[in-house]
Amino acid sequence: MLRIDPKSQLPLYEQIIQQMKELVARGVLQPNDRIPSVRELSSQIIVNPNTVSKAYKELERQGVIITMRGRGTFIAEFTTEDVLPKDIERVKDQIQKAVLEGFYAGIHREEMKVWVEAFYKELGGDQDD
């Protein structure tokens, strides 16, 4: 299900978080779908259970998954809350940093905008959300 790259600079637990969110965003995983237990996933992707556990805790904190004691772990219902200013700032900072690096690497503005568009489409479909 997940493709973890142990050689990546990105921490393993971050890779798990990111990919899980991507699967949800793409609709591969739907609300109330059951996902593997910590032990199952850790043996599937050959990663220390502590690492998976850490990722799951963070995903739960972010409202992406829900763990029900004794029953398993599930994809959470979407809670279309208001957009949080805190999140806006964080994402803005990330984009700003990426644009700065892109600028320095000689990448054109339009190219980066195309990427935003493309990634967004990969996730949510081609509607403007």
* Spatial separation of the C-alpha atoms in residues 37 and 34, rounded to whole Å: 9
Cα Rg of the chain, angstroms: 17
User: Which residues contribute to the site for its own copies (CB under 8 A)?
Assistant: 6-7, 11, 18, 21-22, 25, 62, 64, 66, 68-69, 71, 80-84, 87-88, 90-92, 94-110, 112-113, 115-117, 119-120, 123-124, 128-129
Give residues 38-97 in contact with DNA (rule: CB under 7 A).
Answer: 38-40, 47-51, 53-54, 56-57, 60, 67-73
Task: Write down the least CB distance from residue 61 to its own copies, Å.
Answer: 8
Helices vs strands, H then E, count in the chain: 5, 3
Least separation in angstroms between residue 28's CB and DNA is 18
Query: For residue 8, what are the contacts with CB-CB under 8 A and spacing of at least 6?
Result: 15
Residue written as tokens 């806006």? 88
In this structure, the number of other CB atoms found within 10 A of the CB of residue 22 comes to 15
Q: Which residues bind DNA (CB under 7 A)?
A: 6, 11-14, 37-40, 47-51, 53-54, 56-57, 60, 67-73
